[in-house]
């Protein structure tokens, strides 16, 4: 989630690697080929009983040439994927490219061997081993192609995952702002109307309501800029909100918050409980002339953390909650974007009462 006015740069983190990632990849690429050169030089030196530095020079020309040519494979493979070529077309292109690259590679390596061994010795060696060298070159080229395709596929998967993550954050941000757009005018209008009603009858209560409104607004503005907050901070916001509602409804509203201190550090999306508590006020208090209670409680077990908003009102069914302007569908979507295994459940009591339970995975 982004703070107001901040723009996410999708080009740096989502659409491609950052420059430092490119440097790291180049170092890893060079280190891998160098390790192969050293290993093959040691093997050739031991098998053919020639000085290591001669074998090292020969294998360096051999495999660094292949390494340089493999960059063409990387570029070509990437462009094929970008253009969504089908596998038969990609295979044909790699075969054609391989014929050119293997011929170039073997020509460079053959020129090096000829300059070291002399024309006659090189001709004898080539006549005896050309089939093996050709098969070996084709196998190595095929290995380069396979590794290239696998690495690029993994990078694309990571890129898609980052893009989906960014899109989820943007969607969650948009939904949170939509929630605030719904919440603030509705809540502020009721609060200011109640404050105006108290100015003549009870100026002290009117002043206290404005103070609590200021506390709520400060907590709300702090939360809206965060991708996640602690349950303790969310409870502070809810306490400020319910404090205003207690002044508004007087003795008709009884509030109870029972959340163990050890759960105050649990991470939750901002404004997770606000629409649930507002629903409880709407259905249990605003639509009733009698006393009502609202309880917020939480506990934990092996299944995770369970947070409940309970009211003593007549309750409501899930269908009406989905269509209510402060309904549960938006809260549920934000909750699932925050944690894939999280859940929200509505239990309507008989004959009255309603419990909205949120379960967060451990």
pLDDT at residue 55, rounded to an integer: 83
Under 8 Å between Cβ of 269 and 338: yes
| Whether residue 150 is found in the same domain as residue 252 | no
* DSSP codes, 186-217: HHHHHHHHHHHHHHHH-HHHHHHHHHHHHHHH
| Whether residue 52 is found in the same domain as residue 145 | yes
| Whether residue 154 is found in the same domain as residue 274 | no
Question: Residue 302 maps to which CATH number?
Answer: 3.30.565.10
| 215 part of a folded domain | no
The model's pLDDT over 259-308, given as tens digits with 9 standing for 90+, comes to 999 999 999 988 888 888 888 888 888 777 778 899 999 999 988 999 99
| 220 part of a folded domain | no
Instruction: Provide the pLDDT confidence category of residue 1 given band limits of 50, 70 and 90.
Output: very low
| Whether residue 153 is found in the same domain as residue 276 | no
| Whether residue 24 is found in the same domain as residue 126 | yes
| 202 part of a folded domain | no
Which of 17-21, 22-26, 285-289 is predicted with the least confidence, judged by mean pLDDT? 17-21
| 95 part of a folded domain | yes
Which of 44-58, 292-306, 308-322 is predicted with the least confidence, judged by mean pLDDT? 308-322
The stretch 106-127 carries a mean pLDDT of: 81
Tokens of 98: 């391989």
Total domains in the chain come to 2
| Whether residue 18 is found in the same domain as residue 132 | yes
Whole-model pTM?
0.49
Q: Does the pLDDT at position 350 exceed 70?
A: no
The stretch 39-60 carries a mean pLDDT of: 85
| Whether residue 17 is found in the same domain as residue 131 | yes
pLDDT at residue 326, rounded to an integer: 44
Q: Does the pLDDT at position 50 exceed 70?
A: yes
Could you tell me how far CA 181 lies from the centroid of its own chain? 25
Q: Does the pLDDT at position 103 exceed 70?
A: yes
The stretch 346-355 carries a mean pLDDT of: 78
Boundary-marking domain end, from 115, 134, 164: 164
Q: Does the pLDDT at position 157 exceed 50?
A: yes
| Whether residue 139 is found in the same domain as residue 266 | no
Boundary-marking domain end, from 164, 193, 210: 164
Q: Does the pLDDT at position 10 exceed 50?
A: no
Q: Does the pLDDT at position 84 exceed 80?
A: yes
| 308 part of a folded domain | yes
The stretch 28-41 carries a mean pLDDT of: 86
Under 8 Å between Cβ of 292 and 311: yes
The stretch 64-86 carries a mean pLDDT of: 87
If you average pLDDT over every residue of the chain, what do you get?
79
| Whether residue 159 is found in the same domain as residue 275 | no
| Whether residue 23 is found in the same domain as residue 137 | yes
More confident residue, 358 or 156: 358
Which of 107-116, 184-193, 276-285, 347-356 is predicted with the least confidence, judged by mean pLDDT? 184-193
| Whether residue 151 is found in the same domain as residue 261 | no
Residue 217 to residue 195: CA distance in whole angstroms = 16
The stretch 83-93 carries a mean pLDDT of: 88
Give the list of residues 6+ apart from residue 269 with CB closer than 8 angstroms, or none.
172, 176, 227, 228, 229, 334, 335, 337, 338
- The range of the structural domain enclosing residue 14 comes to 10-164
For residues 304-327, one letter each, b for 16 or more C-beta atoms within 10 angstroms of the residue's C-beta and e for the rest, the string is bbbbbbbbbbbbbeeeebeebebb
| Whether residue 262 is found in the same domain as residue 149 | no
| 90 part of a folded domain | yes
CB count in 10 Å sphere of residue 53: 10
| 35 part of a folded domain | yes
**Range from 155-159, 177-181, 198-202, 222-226 that averages highest in pLDDT:** 155-159
Boundary-marking domain end, from 164, 179, 204: 164
Residue 263 to residue 299: CA distance in whole angstroms = 8
CB count in 10 Å sphere of residue 279: 23
| 179 part of a folded domain | no
pLDDT at residue 174, rounded to an integer: 61
């Amino acid at each position: 989630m982004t703070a107001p006015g901040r723009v996410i740069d999708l080009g740096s983190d989502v659409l491609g690697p950052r420059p430092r990632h490119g440097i790291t990849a180049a170092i890893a690429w060079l280190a891998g080929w160098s390790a192969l050169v050293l290993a093959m030089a040691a093997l050739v030196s031991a098998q053919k009983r020639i000085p290591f530095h001669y074998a090292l020079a020969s294998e360096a020309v051999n495999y660094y040439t292949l390494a340089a040519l493999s960059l063409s494979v990387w570029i070509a493979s990437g462009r094929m994927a970008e253009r969504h070529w089908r596998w038969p077309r990609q295979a044909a292109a790699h075969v054609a490219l391989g014929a050119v690259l293997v011929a170039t590679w073997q020509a460079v390596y053959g020129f090096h061997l000829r300059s070291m061994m002399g024309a006659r010795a090189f001709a004898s060696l080539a006549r005896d081993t050309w089939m093996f060298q050709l098969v070996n070159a084709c196998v190595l080229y095929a290995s380069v192609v396979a590794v290239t395709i696998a690495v690029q596929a993994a990078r694309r998967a990571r890129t898609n995952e980052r893009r989906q993550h960014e899109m989820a954050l943007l969607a969650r941000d948009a939904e949170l702002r939509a929630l605030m757009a719904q919440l603030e005018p509705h809540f502020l209008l009721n609060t200011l109307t109640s404050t105006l009603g108290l100015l003549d009858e009870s100026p002290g209560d009117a002043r206290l309501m404005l103070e609590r409104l200021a506390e709520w607004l400060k907590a709300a503005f702090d939360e809206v800029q965060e991708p996640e907050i602690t349950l303790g901070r969310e409870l502070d916001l809810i306490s400020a909100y319910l404090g205003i509602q207690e002044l508004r409804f007087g003795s008709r509203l009884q509030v109870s918050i029972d959340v163990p201190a050890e759960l105050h550090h649990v991470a939750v999306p901002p404004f997770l409980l606000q629409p649930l508590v507002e629903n409880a006020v709407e259905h249990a208090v605003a639509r009733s002339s009698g006393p009502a209670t609202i309880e917020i409680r939480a506990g934990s077990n092996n299944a995770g953390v369970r947070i409940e908003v309970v009211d003593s009102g007549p309750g409501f069914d899930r269908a009406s909650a989905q269509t209510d302007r402060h309904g549960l569908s938006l809260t549920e979507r934000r909750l699932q974007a925050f944690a894939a295994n999280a859940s929200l459940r509505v239990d309507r009591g008989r004959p009255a009462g309603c419990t909205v339970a949120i379960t967060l995975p451990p």
